[in-house]
Structure 1
Amino acid sequence: MQPWTLLGVLSLLIAVPDALAVKSHDFKTCSQAGFCRRGRALSARAADAKSAWKSPYSLDASSIAITPNKAVFTAGVKSTLYPDIKFGLELRVHEDGVVRVRMDEVDGLRKRYDEAAAWALIAEPRISQDIAWTAGKKDIRAKYGNNEVVVAFEPLKITLLRGGKEQVVLNGQGLLHMEHFRAKAVAETKTEEADPAPEQGAEDAEEQVVMEVKEPNPRAWFEGDSEDDWWEERFSTWTDTKPKGPESLSIDISFPSHGTIYGIPQHATRLALPTTAGDAPTFTDPYRLYNADVFEYLASSPMSLYGSIPVLHAHSADSTVGIFHAMGSETWIDVAHASNKSTQTHWISESGILDLFLMPGPTPADIFAQYAGLTGTPVLPPHWSLGYHQCRWNYISSDDVRTVQKRFDEEDMPVDVFWLDIEYAEDHKYFMWDQKNFPDPVDMTNDVAALGRKMVVIVDPHLKRTDNYPAFKEASDRKVLVKPPSGEGEYEGWCWSGSSSWIDFFDPNSWDWWMSLFKTTASKTGWTWTSSTTDIHIWNDMNEPSVFNGPEISMPRDNIHYGGWEHRDVHNINGMLFSNLTSKAVQHRTDQPTRPFVLTRSFFAGSQRFGAMWTGDNLGTWEHMAVGIQMVLANGIAGMSFAGSDVGGFFGNPEPEMLVRWYQVGIFNPFLRAHAHIDTKRREPFLLEQPYKGMVKDILRLRYTMLPVWYTAFRETSVTGVPVLRPHYVMFPKDPKGFDLDDQYFIGASGLLVKPITTKGATETTVYLPEDEVYYDYFTHHAHRGAAKGKEISVQAALHQIPLFVRGGSIVPTRERPRRSSPLMKQDPFTLRVALNTKGSAKGEVYLDDGVSYKHEEGQFVWRAFTAEAVGKKSVRLSSTDLAAGRPGEAVDGVALTGYKAANGFAESVRDVRVEKVVVLGLSGKPASVKVEGGGELVWEYTAGVAAGGKGEGAASVLTIKDPKVRIVEGWAIVIQL
């Protein structure tokens, strides 16, 4: 095709916003992707053959080799299709029970890409020392605990069982197919004498006719009867050369005992994944994992979006199992439910080896721990990044930024971060400020930081191809740019900067150099960002990568990366490396590392270690508001807890009602940012008319009061991997009524249950209570009763109301003083909401550290448990204890507590922070006295109402204890005598 001009690109993407609506013809369907088409055809042939179908792959029993520790075995695999082609299989059992299955072509014409796991894993997993494989005549198996792995020889089939019951089955449907490397066939020719026509002369009688001879293909029953896009593939005006030929991988993965599956983000769809195959599928295309820049994506679709995490949970009331398929190439996944008790999936990838991790569970918490053991836990973010982020494309000048900050302060609305999109940079040369509109970037940033706030600016991966741009010039000189298919020179495409090239972050030579750019002090060895400060953090956008004039708005698949690998091999990993290196750069730009904040649009397995993500260029519609919740939940399941969707939608001009509701959604996302397209009307919350402005102000303040809840939840996920936002199946895995729920969820282990409203004009809603427990309305203290088999309740949900509940048995710590930004809250007192359960008890915790450094890894933190328990029938004792003391064998944030001391430096810095109020809900009667243990009577008030241990519903009894003068860092007890 003809290269696009920069003018043409910008006129399409800026001047004509209507052109941004998603166009299906810009992105492939399965039928337009040769390898997916071949994989689905294979599945169709198997379905037609039914019981006569047999996989051609078998394990060569004579080749089995078991390692000395007996937890690993290798063997050869044969295919009846190609007897001369060799494959190798390896299975190993890890210490935590995860089973790794690897299969690769052996001694092939070329090497398959086998490095995806190396980028995703935090370390090579440790092999079990207690498990042994035992080979028999028909299979080889290993049993450990209640689990067993069985590898059947012919046909090859791998099964994970628990208690003798099948949990995960590989190749049970016979769809395994590793397309081997081969030489391109040369058509045979045949010479014949042509019969001369009457008018031909004798000299023409010997003319040769070339004829292609097509022999019957004996493998057509399995592979199909044609070379379907083996060596070249066209899409729209682009041609993808395939110098390596066909190399796709097909594998069926079945869950015979699990009828619900979750995961494989990112897709705009329900949390419990709808079907794509079988009878009456919800979607006709498989779920696609291919990182893509999809403008105004559909609110219900299996289309690929910005990130890809090939991890999946399969769930039933009996157990949860999971798989992680370490695959960096484009992958399509079909889903079918044979019944509500079993699920079949079919994974079709363009290239790479089989590198599959079977996670045995058996609980959701176990799966999160097993996946975190492979790819790492989510990062513990800087505390300020959990506040409110204000962004748009674009704040037009440094004065604009100052004015926006001033307006927030005039309206007494809290905000922590102001963002700058691409227009801050001169000609979109990132790191270089537009001197006309941003002549004083350091002073501007310092003005923001003076009130405890931060800046975030965008740095995209495309570098403008001009020698007066130091970042490009140095990358070019260092030869660390992605290459075109020839492998020579530098790939050139078009993006915001015009003619651009892309850094190849697979090249280790790029790493230290990229990190050096973010230094805020001058360097003798290269260019650094001296017009920045350490209060500026980074937004990585467009890193799928997005290429305006490329196929599917991305990079050609036959481009070349470090090591000679084609872009097709690493496409889904590409964006993770960009945010990884950026995160390290921000972390290490000072002598003493500080916690970075980096937002990424594109991500892969392991991206949770480096920062936050958002759901991309959504629309200002009710449907996008709703699906954003489902997408954030799905990302959390796959490790990406620090997630959110843009409040208000990126495109469009939401009406005030929608904007209020979207802020209600946003404050219950881990990442809270308002963002808008350049062509939208300004919609900062202070611009709203009353009563909407007051509503949003209250909503934002609610987020800030709950920052202790959010930070404590992030501490937990940074250790356990259990997501910050928890769907019902995570909290109540044995309750089938909650398996499909994705419009209400819990926040960490806090006991807070929220159901944001995402429909226009709503004044009431229903909320599902999954247990026989009391749930208190957070605002009114109304006590609602659940039931043993679950129960729906109706609640009021007018525009100013948020359905938010505290589960009985929870203690929720908050900070109620209004502040302009979160760092100003460091010395603020706490309020404890004690929500008694039906047994009259409750518990909760709070975690605090300085929120910016890594001193918590040295034991500089406060971690307290709060417990309320009935003492006999006439008193309740509320106490605070140190959760870290006396637990040297455990870890906080991955660091052993051996260095922890209660009187650590951080604890001393907040030693005067007190509990200023305690609210106890559900007492059985009016107290006779309320005292600090060992002290005098406290000031308190009591309002009679429903008791937690009773059966009635209505306003709960409320005991309010005023300023008990107990400190957050100390042990204490308050005794309530009834």
Structure 2
Amino acid sequence: MAASCDSLLPLVLLLCLSAQAVDRSNFKTCDQSAFCKRQRELKPGQSPYRALLDTLELSNSRLSLQLINDNNKVRLLLELYRLQGNMTRVKINELKPLKPRYEVPDVLLSDPITEALSVVAQDENSLVVSLGGKDQRLILSAQPFRLDIVEGSQVLMSLNSRGLLAFEHLRTRKDTISHKISSTVGSMWDSLKSMFSSKSESEQAPGQENVEQQTDEDGQIKEEDDKPGMWEETFKSHTDSKPNGPTSISLDFSLPGVEHVYGIPEHADTLKLKNTDGSDPYRLYNLDVFQYELHNPMALYGAVPVLISHSTDRTMGIFWLNAAETWVDISSNTAGKTMFGKILDFVQVSSEAPQTDVRWMSESGIIDVFIMLGPKPADVFTQYASLTGTQSFPPLSALAYHQCRWNYNDQEDVKTVDQGFDEHDIPYDFIWLDIEHADGKRYFTWDPSKFPQPKEMLQGLMDKRRKLVAIVDPHIKVDSGYKIHNEIRSKNFYVKNKDGGDYEGWCWPGNAGYPDFTNPEMRTWWASQFAYDQYEGSMENQYIWNDMNEPSVFNGPEVTMHKDALHGVWEHRDVHNLYGLYVQKATADGLIQRSEGVQRPFVLTRAFFAGSQRYGAVWTGDNAAEWGHLKISIPMCLSLGLVGISFCGADVGGFFKHPSAELLVRWYQAGAYQPFFRAHAHIDTPRREPWLFGPENTALIREAIRQRYALLPYWYQLFYNAHRTGQPVMRPLWVEYPDDFATFSIEDEYLIGKDLLVHPVTDEGATGVTAYLPGKGEVWYDVHTFQKHDGDQSLYIPVTMSSIPVFQRGGSIICRKDRVRRSSSCMENDPYTLYVALGSQGSAEGELYIDDFHTFSFEEAKQFVHRRLSFSANTLSSRNLAPDSQFSTASWIEKIVIFGGSQPSSATLKSADGTESALEFEFDSTLAVLTLRKPGVNAAADWTIVLR
């Protein structure tokens, strides 16, 4: 949520930006980021780094050796690991740093399981390491240093093939050699050296103990001349003191045969990442960007340093584990070529094979990169999930519709809006309260005049089986009368400024402190504040929203925290992109603890990092009521899904500005088919509850929301699968059709799971859309008309304002609940309808998953129903996939709709106890749709239906 100009204090008014677009001058370009500029000035060519093969050390799971920079004689330690699941880890750090460099904690689930390495060949300039099965090898070239990962005769990936490895080592400033680090900070580092040392004395690589770096006459390491921004950097009125000097790192990766790369969210840009030659690199640096621009590599609210490459031959991933400001350059030898040019290359058998080069540049830390070798898209998702975890499994209600604005004014306003949904027969599950609900922006409190009886309000919602979300931001009003502030200060839990005092900045409450969420003790305390006896007025149907957690600092550089602020011994520059993850983690932990570990939490965050998927949902931030923002929501959420964050959505209707009725309707129709479905609006916009745009538009919005509720069983099953396997819920077409080149750049349609294809209408005044239906030999069915279409074609679809083009894949079975009620909780025991879409071979399969929809019992007590539904040889059956579970459900199967089949003469239900009964049925010969009525079997039972 960005600043509202008329609501801010005078000092912050200076920060208000144009209502038309982001003020780019508030945010750095690469040229204005000193380390990015320095790194980019390095040109591809001869690398100064050489591998010292005589320092090689090989254990069962780790290979290490030293690298030397021949320009300054600084040595680095290279470590290589083969990881279980077809992954390779590469770490590069200083061999003897002046003090430890930051290594990102808490993102990996645990130390990855390693596999055996062996050197199979070596000569004076190279060595070959076996990576296990499939004839995978790693070839290390010594001079210049280079790594190639090879499978058979194919080079999969090369590291430092362009010679852009750069590692700015810690050093003492030339003109202040006599100035030492303060005794306080110095002693802290001394006490921590052993803690953060990556190797014990007995594990040092050969030669490490006696390394002598080349020095000049003054005994200092030979350095290149200092460049602007190395030791101090000023942007606008803010100066970064850089007490540790230049510390940036860089490494290049070459991907032969690859033209398409994806990922590294968050950017308001195309799904396929663009070539950055001649423009800024993609930036990863969590920032509060007011009304962001589209098709721009600028940093936004979150940063996931994971890039996915895909070709018809292979899918791979690169996970760059670094939480500092990072820039990513992408270049391709096919960039800029027209499709005709590519075809001409093919016809002429061009000798220039496609290749994409990716260069990562980070301001501090070490090089720690995980190379995920696929080979299939599903394999990469599994590999990444094994490192950072899977999407948290939300309560069912969180997958339903959420109603929000900045702000619902008071308790009466909440009651009126709640009643409005009932009066207009529109279901919803959550109503949200933004910052105005708290007492003077003091989080964990309620405005005493506007929300004097919060429990009464929450109980009223609970009586209707609905819930509420309240915002809790991580900036804390500096106020001696505010309990939260006093406790944080007394426990010394605030981030410190460079001089050791509490860091303070301006945000919504005015002067604010920022808790140090990198401190586990702070996170434990924060979690404790969500207990019902601490958070007065809260109840079990209240959940939490963490906004502004980049962190946003209105009067800070780039509207965020100063990089030389301190989190214990670490600078903010080292941990910046982790801050939002830690806030969401601590909040989710608090919601779990308040229920003594019983209830699943729901927490929405704006800032995020790799691993944030474990803690809840994200949204795409402060968008605008414009058609372009509706369009861009699709690739933005697809990009997040590719890197593990499936629970994504965009503010329906746009946060800024006021949508036309047409735009609002189209946004509801699109949002109903995205994972996180929430309407939200800026405080200065007119009210836009779904019934305020006339009865015709109310009916259209109602229908879109009802379609969402009918499909909740399918969404729930997909999130269960994502939680178990790491596979994305909302996915690009190429994930399921990896050999179909036509799918590689499609971003205006997508798959939900593998069985629903959605092509939202995102153009003003559209009378038709063209959808690509993939899969040669496959069939697709319009879910609204049941009309059958062949795959492997572009289909023109006429549309009206009521149209939401959605197709079910032939060969699938999707479970729905067609009795839509006022909330998902009211539908928990309602019956299911099975939609059976027969494939070209007359068969289909699907799954049904049921649990109690809100607790951890599915995990801890194995209390759930998981069924395999299959149709083959005119027989439909339900088989138990969880034989050890004893969970029961009141839900039953009330109808089965089969499309793409023929008319039977009879339909016989065979129950688990052996009894048989005839079923009533209807057959529409025009659409080839067979409807079986009231099978009446319990959803958890074994049964078979035979058609004759």
For normalisation by structure 1, the TM-score amounts to 0.88
| Alignment CA distance shift 1:818-1:413 (3 Å) | same
| Alignment CA distance shift 1:9-1:939 (3 Å) | farther
Q: Measure, in 2, the Cα distance between the counterparts of 1:182 and 1:302.
A: 32
Query: Which residue of structure 1 aligns with residue 941 of structure 2?
Result: 970
| Alignment CA distance shift 1:361-1:233 (3 Å) | same
Query: Which residue of structure 1 aligns with residue 841 of structure 2?
Result: 839
3-state SS of paired residue (1:322): strand
| Alignment CA distance shift 1:172-1:592 (3 Å) | closer
1:820-864 CA-partner distances (Å, limit 9, x unpaired): 000111110111111101100001111111111111111100111
Query: Which residue of structure 1 aligns with residue 163 of structure 2?
Result: 174
Say whether the 8 Å CA contact 1:12–1:19 is kept in structure 2: no
Query: Which residue of structure 2 aligns with residue 479 of structure 1?
Result: 492
Query: Which residue of structure 2 aligns with residue 196 of structure 1?
Result: none
- TM-superposed CA distance for 1:591, in Å, is 2.5
- TM-superposed CA distance for 1:818, in Å, is 1.9
Q: Measure, in 1, the Cα distance between the counterparts of 2:616 and 2:596.
A: 21
Query: Which residue of structure 2 aligns with residue 917 of structure 1?
Result: 895
3-state SS of paired residue (1:965): coil
1:502-526 CA-partner distances (Å, limit 9, x unpaired): 00011122122111111102xxxxx
Q: Measure, in 2, the Cα distance between the counterparts of 1:393 and 1:725.
A: 28
Query: Which residue of structure 2 aligns with residue 693 of structure 1?
Result: 698
3-state SS of paired residue (1:627): helix
Q: Measure, in 1, the Cα distance between the counterparts of 2:100 and 2:637.
A: 37
Residue of 469, 475, 478 corresponding to 1:465 = 478
Say whether the 8 Å CA contact 2:474–2:549 is kept in structure 1: yes
**2:103 is the alignment partner of 1:132:** no
Matched pairs, number:
876
Query: Residue 316 of structure 2 aligns to which amino acid in structure 1?
Result: V
Query: Residue 109 of structure 2 aligns to which amino acid in structure 1?
Result: I
3-state SS of paired residue (1:859): coil
Q: Measure, in 2, the Cα distance between the counterparts of 1:599 and 1:150.
A: 44
Superposition pairs of residues 527-538 of structure 1, within 5 angstroms: 528-538=534-544
Query: Which residue of structure 2 aligns with residue 201 of structure 1?
Result: none
Residue of 508, 519, 536 corresponding to 1:507 = 519
- TM-superposed CA distance for 1:18, in Å, is 4.2
**2:531 is the alignment partner of 1:542:** no
Superposition pairs of residues 258-297 of structure 1, within 5 angstroms: 258-277=258-277, 284-297=279-292
Query: Which residue of structure 1 aligns with residue 96 of structure 2?
Result: 107
Query: Which residue of structure 1 aligns with residue 192 of structure 2?
Result: none
Q: Measure, in 2, the Cα distance between the counterparts of 1:144 and 1:869.
A: 40
Query: Which residue of structure 2 aligns with residue 59 of structure 1?
Result: 51
Say whether the 8 Å CA contact 2:624–2:655 is kept in structure 1: yes
- TM-superposed CA distance for 1:228, in Å, is 2.7
Query: Which residue of structure 2 aligns with residue 867 of structure 1?
Result: 870
- TM-superposed CA distance for 1:107, in Å, is 1.6
| Alignment CA distance shift 1:565-1:153 (3 Å) | same
| Alignment CA distance shift 1:445-1:609 (3 Å) | same
Residue of 107, 110, 123 corresponding to 2:110 = 123
Residue of 46, 64, 67 corresponding to 1:74 = 64
Say whether the 8 Å CA contact 1:73–1:133 is kept in structure 2: no
Residue of 928, 935, 942 corresponding to 2:916 = 935
| Alignment CA distance shift 1:496-1:333 (3 Å) | same
Say whether the 8 Å CA contact 1:844–1:866 is kept in structure 2: yes
Say whether the 8 Å CA contact 2:12–2:554 is kept in structure 1: no
Q: Measure, in 2, the Cα distance between the counterparts of 1:375 and 1:223.
A: 38
Residue of 389, 396, 402 corresponding to 1:376 = 389
Residue of 505, 524, 537 corresponding to 1:493 = 505
Deviation beyond 4 Å, 4+ runs, structure 1: 9-13, 16-20, 222-226
Deviates more, 1:512-521 or 1:438-447: 512-521
1:112-139 CA-partner distances (Å, limit 9, x unpaired): 212x1x22101000111x4423451222
Q: Measure, in 1, the Cα distance between the counterparts of 2:77 and 2:274.
A: 35
Query: Residue 62 of structure 2 aligns to which amino acid in structure 1?
Result: V
- TM-superposed CA distance for 1:608, in Å, is 0.2
Query: Which residue of structure 1 aligns with residue 84 of structure 2?
Result: 95
Q: Measure, in 1, the Cα distance between the counterparts of 2:881 and 2:100.
A: 51
3-state SS of paired residue (1:866): strand
Query: Which residue of structure 2 aligns with residue 332 of structure 1?
Result: 327
Residue of 791, 806, 809 corresponding to 2:811 = 809
3-state SS of paired residue (1:122): coil
Q: Measure, in 2, the Cα distance between the counterparts of 1:705 and 1:249.
A: 50
Say whether the 8 Å CA contact 1:832–1:918 is kept in structure 2: yes
Q: Give the % identical residues.
A: 43
Q: Measure, in 1, the Cα distance between the counterparts of 2:536 and 2:439.
A: 15
Query: Residue 805 of structure 2 aligns to which amino acid in structure 1?
Result: P
1:178-227 CA-partner distances (Å, limit 9, x unpaired): 01112212399xxxxxxxxxxxxxxxxxxxxxxxxxx9xxxxxx998651
Q: Measure, in 2, the Cα distance between the counterparts of 1:82 and 1:164.
A: 36
Q: Measure, in 2, the Cα distance between the counterparts of 1:575 and 1:187.
A: 36
Say whether the 8 Å CA contact 1:6–1:499 is kept in structure 2: no
Query: Residue 938 of structure 1 aligns to which amino acid in structure 2?
Result: L
Larger radius of gyration, structure 1 or 2?
1
- TM-superposed CA distance for 1:256, in Å, is 1.1
- TM-superposed CA distance for 1:372, in Å, is 0.3
Query: Residue 501 of structure 1 aligns to which amino acid in structure 2?
Result: G
3-state SS of paired residue (1:426): coil
Say whether the 8 Å CA contact 1:17–1:679 is kept in structure 2: no
Say whether the 8 Å CA contact 1:846–1:864 is kept in structure 2: yes
| Alignment CA distance shift 1:926-1:36 (3 Å) | same
Say whether the 8 Å CA contact 2:691–2:697 is kept in structure 1: no
Say whether the 8 Å CA contact 1:328–1:573 is kept in structure 2: yes
Query: Which residue of structure 1 aligns with residue 676 of structure 2?
Result: 671
| Alignment CA distance shift 1:243-1:226 (3 Å) | closer
- TM-superposed CA distance for 1:938, in Å, is 1.2
Say whether the 8 Å CA contact 2:128–2:137 is kept in structure 1: no
1:351-380 CA-partner distances (Å, limit 9, x unpaired): 110000010100000000000000001101
3-state SS of paired residue (1:685): coil
- TM-superposed CA distance for 1:230, in Å, is 0.7
**2:438 is the alignment partner of 1:425:** yes
**2:417 is the alignment partner of 1:404:** yes
**2:751 is the alignment partner of 1:746:** yes
Query: Residue 271 of structure 1 aligns to which amino acid in structure 2?
Result: L
3-state SS of paired residue (1:361): coil
Q: Measure, in 2, the Cα distance between the counterparts of 1:732 and 1:607.
A: 28
1:121-166 CA-partner distances (Å, limit 9, x unpaired): 01000111x4423451222412311222222222111122222211
For normalisation by structure 2, the TM-score amounts to 0.90
Q: Measure, in 1, the Cα distance between the counterparts of 2:620 and 2:152.
A: 40
Query: Which residue of structure 2 aligns with residue 525 of structure 1?
Result: none
Query: Pairwise CA RMSD of aligned residues?
Result: 1.9
Q: Measure, in 2, the Cα distance between the counterparts of 1:110 and 1:240.
A: 20
Query: Residue 767 of structure 2 aligns to which amino acid in structure 1?
Result: T
3-state SS of paired residue (1:573): helix
Q: What are the ranges of 5 or more consecutive residues in structure 2 without an aligned counterpart?
A: 178-215, 217-221, 336-353
Query: Which residue of structure 2 aligns with residue 884 of structure 1?
Result: 882
**2:769 is the alignment partner of 1:760:** no
3-state SS of paired residue (2:450): coil
3-state SS of paired residue (1:335): strand
- TM-superposed CA distance for 1:530, in Å, is 2.3
Q: Measure, in 2, the Cα distance between the counterparts of 1:484 and 1:12.
A: 23
Say whether the 8 Å CA contact 2:82–2:131 is kept in structure 1: no
Query: Residue 532 of structure 2 aligns to which amino acid in structure 1?
Result: T
Query: Residue 40 of structure 2 aligns to which amino acid in structure 1?
Result: R
Q: Measure, in 1, the Cα distance between the counterparts of 2:147 and 2:265.
A: 25
Query: Which residue of structure 2 aligns with residue 681 of structure 1?
Result: 686
Say whether the 8 Å CA contact 1:42–1:223 is kept in structure 2: no
Query: Residue 237 of structure 2 aligns to which amino acid in structure 1?
Result: T
| Alignment CA distance shift 1:10-1:250 (3 Å) | closer
